[in-house]
């Protein structure tokens, strides 16, 4: 993941100050004994460096240990909030199981070990999936990811195809097959979604469930798909921190996912590498 662009010493100082501020705010929030907090974490680009493909990401051992420790310290009120399916998150963080929401809110569990709840049974219709697979095949380097209730087209390896993909997807979704579907643009990815949920709704739902209910939320995210949840935090007396750049609603930004990991590992009492 690229660092934010800075220009000269003044820009570098500003980026450094911004990152110190984000780390300090997360530290202060985690160590504030007067409040019961609930920590919500996006995964790709926030906890993990973005890789060439979703399957190529790496989960550092010290991050897994820090999340396990903080989950326990927060009385179970730590959840992963991702566009990935929860099964995928479980594989990535194994053997650690955490409360999690996957598919941008399509399914969730409020406690580790509980069965998944599903927002809706909506899945993409077979003809739409065929169109999306064909679209992926029509450009070299496009990686498709069929998640059932959504379908992602990653163009990180073919950035020049982004505009053509966007046009084709807008045409598909504005046609009869696009009824009820949404297009969610992310970092070098377009996702077609067959449900109305987003991460903001997912977090609201968690906050109605034990052990999250009644706690003050903190959400960290890095992408367009995180913006509704970030923007919602101030209204919930919560805190929002973004990664890479200051997104609407966030009070400070980490430079990158490594900075988020380092702060979490330090707060958990471990050593960041
Ligand atoms: Mg992300």
Task: Check 27, 42, 44, 256 and give the catalytic one.
Answer: 42
Domain limit, last residue, from 193, 224, 247: 193
Q: In sequence order, what DSSP letters do the residues of 138-160 get, joined into one string?
A: TSTT-EEEE-SSEEEEE-TT-GG
> Which CATH number does the domain housing residue 59 bear?
3.40.50.1000
3-state helix, strand, coil in the chain (%, to 5): 40, 20, 40
pTM summary value: 0.83
Contacts by residues 82-85 (CB-CB < 8 Å, ≥ 24 positions apart) = 82/42, 82/43, 82/44, 83/44, 83/150, 83/152, 83/184, 83/186, 83/191, 83/225, 84/43, 84/44, 84/54, 84/147, 85/147, 85/148
What is the rounded distance in angstroms from the CA atom of residue 261 to the CA atom of residue 254?
10
Looking at the structure, tell me whether residues 187 and 54 fall in a common domain: no
According to the model, what pLDDT value does residue 94 have? 96
Q: Pick out the chain residues at pLDDT < 70.
A: 1-20, 120-121, 270-273
Looking at the structure, tell me whether residues 179 and 207 fall in a common domain: no
Q: Are 28 and 37 in contact (CB under 8 A)?
A: no
Number of H helices, E strands in the chain: 8, 12
What is the rounded distance in angstroms from the CA atom of residue 217 to the CA atom of residue 225?
18
Distance from residue 176's CA to the centre of ligand 1 (Å): 31
Looking at the structure, tell me whether residues 92 and 16 fall in a common domain: yes
According to the model, what pLDDT value does residue 55 have? 86
For 36-45, how does the pLDDT look when each residue is reduced to its tens digit (9 = 90+)? 999 999 999 9
How many domains is the chain partitioned into structurally?
Answer: 2
- At which residue do the structure tokens 């913006």 appear? 227
Is 32 tagged catalytic?
A: no
According to the model, what pLDDT value does residue 3 have? 41
Distance from residue 104's CA to the centre of ligand 1 (Å): 11
Other C-beta atoms within 10 Å of 218: how many?
20
Q: What are phi and psi of 163, to 5 degrees?
A: -65, -45
Distance from residue 44's CA to the centre of ligand 1 (Å): 4
According to the model, what pLDDT value does residue 240 have? 97
Distance from residue 178's CA to the centre of ligand 1 (Å): 25
According to the model, what pLDDT value does residue 89 have? 96
Q: What secondary structure letter does DSSP report for 66?
A: H
Distance from residue 45's CA to the centre of ligand 1 (Å): 4
What residue numbers bound the domain in which 188 lies?
126-193
């Amino acid at each position: 993941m690229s660092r934010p662009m800075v220009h000269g010493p003044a820009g570098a100082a500003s980026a450094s100050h911004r990152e110190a501020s984000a780390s300090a705010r997360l530290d202060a929030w985690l160590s504030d004994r007067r409040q019961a907090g609930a920590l919500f974490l996006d995964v790709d680009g926030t906890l993990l460096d973005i890789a060439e493909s979703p399957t190529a990401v790496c989960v550092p051992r010290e991050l897994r240990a820090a999340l396990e420790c903080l989950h326990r310290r927060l009385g179970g009120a730590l959840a992963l909030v991702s566009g990935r399916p929860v099964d995928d998150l479980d594989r990535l963080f194994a053997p650690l199981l955490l409360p999690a929401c996957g598919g941008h809110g399509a399914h969730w569990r409020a406690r580790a070990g509980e069965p998944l709840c599903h927002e809706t049974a909506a899945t993409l219709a077979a003809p739409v999936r065929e169109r999306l697979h064909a679209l992926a095949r029509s450009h070299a380097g496009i990686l498709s990811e069929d998640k059932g209730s959504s379908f992602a087209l990653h163009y990180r390896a073919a950035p020049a195809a982004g505009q053509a993909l966007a046009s084709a997807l807008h045409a598909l979704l504005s046609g009869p097959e696009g009824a009820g579907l949404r297009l969610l643009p992310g970092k070098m990815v377009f996702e077609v979604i067959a449900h109305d949920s987003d991460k903001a709704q997912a977090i609201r739902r968690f906050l109605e469930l034990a052990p999250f209910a009644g706690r003050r939320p903190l959400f960290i995210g890095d992408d367009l798909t995180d913006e509704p949840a970030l923007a919602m935090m101030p209204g919930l007396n919560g805190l929002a921190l973004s990664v890479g750049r200051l997104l609407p609603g966030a009070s400070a930004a980490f430079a990158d996912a490594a900075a988020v990991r380092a702060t979490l590992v330090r707060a958990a009492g471990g050593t960041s590498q």
